Structures are given as C-alpha cells and as structure tokens.
Amino acid sequence: MTIGSRLVFGSADLRADSATEPLLDRFYEAGGRSLDVANVYADGESARAVGAWLASRDVREDIVLYAKGCHPPYCSPSLVAAEVDKALNDLGVDRLDVFSLHRDDPDVPVEMFAEALVAHVENGKLAAFGVSNWTMPRFRALADCLNGGRDRLVAFSNHFSLGEMVTPTWPGCLAMTKADMSELAEGGIQALAWASLASGYFAGRAAPSWDSPANEARRLRARELAEELGTSPAAVALSYVLNQPPHVLALVGTRSQAHLEEALSACRLRLTPDQLSWLEDGGPTR
C-alpha cells in the first residue's frame, strides 16, 4: 500500500453543492480511492452528495467506502440494521465496504454488537466492519467474541496526529497511541486516524482540543521543518501520519481545493525516522 493510497477523504464538510464534485474529481484523479462517510454528517446530506458523485462518475467499483453509523442517540445493537440501511440508501449503493460503529455503549455486551454486525455481512450488505471511538479493551473483547469470523473486523478509527488530543473534541471522542496502532497491526487491522491534522491546529488555527505547551512545541517544529523542505506545516504534520506503518490511514476533510492540494502534497513527502522522532519530541537530530 502506497502512502498516497492511505489518504482517506473525509466527507463531513461536503454538501449537495457546486464544491463537492470538483473536490472528489481531483482526489480521484490524484489516485485517491477511499472515502469516509457517516450517517450523522449533515444528517445524511454529505453521504447523498458522495452518492451522487459516485453515480455520475461510474466509479463505485474503484472506491472503498468507509461508512459510520450508530452515533448517539442511535448507538444500540437494535438500531444497527436501520443505520446500515440509511447509509446504503443515502449513498445509493447495495453494499458497504466497511461499516463502523461511530461510538460505543459500554453498558451493552460486545456480543450483541457483534451479532448485529455479522448478520449484515451474512446478508450481503457489508463486506466488513469496524469501530470508531472505542477503547482498546472493548475492541479486544469484540475481536475475541468473533472467533472464526474475526477477519470481518477490519478497522479501528480513533484520533491520531502529530498533536496529542488533550480534551475530547466531542463527547465520547477517543485517541489511539502508537502502542495501540502496533497492536492493531499485529491483528491485521487498519488504523484510521481521524482529525489527522488536529482540526487545523498545524495549519495555525485555534483548536482547543490540542491546545497545550507540548503541542505548541510540535507545531513550531513542524513549521521549522516545513521551511527546510519547502512545504507547509500542515503538509509536514499530515506526512507525519502518512509515514507511520502502512496499516495507518489518514482521514482528511476539506471544502477547499487549495487545502486538498496541500494534503495531496503530503503524500509525496518522505520523512526520515530522525525527522519523525524530532517532530514528536525535539530530539537532538533530524
């Protein structure tokens, strides 16, 4: 898997307007083949905009759809069927490549979620499934209860970026560590890093969830390295995620052609191990 193929276009900001098709066209033209959608994004408008693009360009077979459902207040095994159907209907497709539970309800036994998800693999509506904003212990329990069907569990999506999330962006948001990502790699699980640019923090925007002295130092180092490499701090920060092990995918959403080009430029950056380490902790070499 190339670094470029690991960039996932997040659809949260897309709408049924004139901005969407040119953005998705450019992403596809550049080799992008993975899209992230969720039932909660604009109450389905984002997914419908993606679905309209898929239909008009006849590219469904080329695209991997990472869909999410069961966001509170719909986080229940009894509602998985309705959430899967909403995603299918909004996108105008008959099968989802990966359907992830957008949140967890720790009071619900994982076996109940597993049963609901497996049922939709068996009826052909899902090729595979995953979870988002789950703890690693709950994820392990889910994997363990699947027994021989564990290969259907393919994705885990929590926050990861050059910055450490110091406060949840929304209730129930969770981050993953490098140790978590190593464990996922051992199980053959894709790690989808949402907010891989820390909600614009590394582009210089205010992002309270990443406001800390340690993150400010990382942002300054990203700026310094960007000057040396002739690129932008945001591209350096995104490249940091893309230069993690190959099972790590970076989710990036935008409504700006310029910001999309910046994200695509990050796919062309190859950071050395010393540069990655220096970005993290400011060690003596880079």
Closest among 10, 6, 2, 4 to 253, alpha carbons compared: 10
- Paired with 248 in beta bridges are 191
pLDDT at residue 1, rounded to an integer? 64
pTM of the shown model: 0.96
Please state, in angstroms and rounded to a whole number, the distance separating the CA atoms of residues 158 and 168: 11
Closest among 81, 189, 99, 177 to 140, alpha carbons compared: 189
Q: pLDDT averaged over consecutive 10-residue blocks of the chain (286 residues)?
A: 84 97 97 97 98 96 97 97 98 98 98 97 97 98 85 95 97 97 97 97 96 98 98 98 97 97 96 97 80
Is-contact 263 252, C-beta < 8 A?
A: yes
**Distance set, CA 27 to CA 10, 49, 123, 244 (Å):** 11, 15, 32, 21
Number of domains in the chain: 1
Tokens of 48: 């419908």
Exposure letters 171-185 (e unless 16+ CB within 10 A, then b): ebbbbbeeebbebbb
Residue 225 belongs to some domain of the structure: yes
Question: What CATH number did the domain enclosing 141 receive?
Answer: 3.20.20.100
Q: Which domain holds residue 162?
A: 4-281
pLDDT at residue 195, rounded to an integer? 97
DSSP the chain: --TGGGEEEE-TT--SSTTHHHHHHHHHHTT--EEEEETTGGGGHHHHHHHHHHHHHT-GGG-EEEEEE--TTS-SGGGHHHHHHHHHHHHT-S-BSEEEESS--TTS-HHHHHHHHHHHHHTTSBS-EEEES--HHHHHHHHHHHGGGGGGEEEEE-B-SSSPP-S-SSTT--B--HHHHHHHHHTT-EEEEBTTTGGGGGGT---GGG-SHHHHHHHHHHHHHHHHHTS-HHHHHHHHHHTS-TTEEEEEE-S-HHHHHHHHHHTT----HHHHHHHHH--S--
- Paired with 129 in beta bridges are 99, 153
pLDDT at residue 284, rounded to an integer? 75
Q: Please count the CA atoms within 13 angstroms of the CA of 9 that sit on its side-chain side.
A: 33
pLDDT at residue 4, rounded to an integer? 67
Residue 42 belongs to some domain of the structure: yes
Residue 286 belongs to some domain of the structure: no
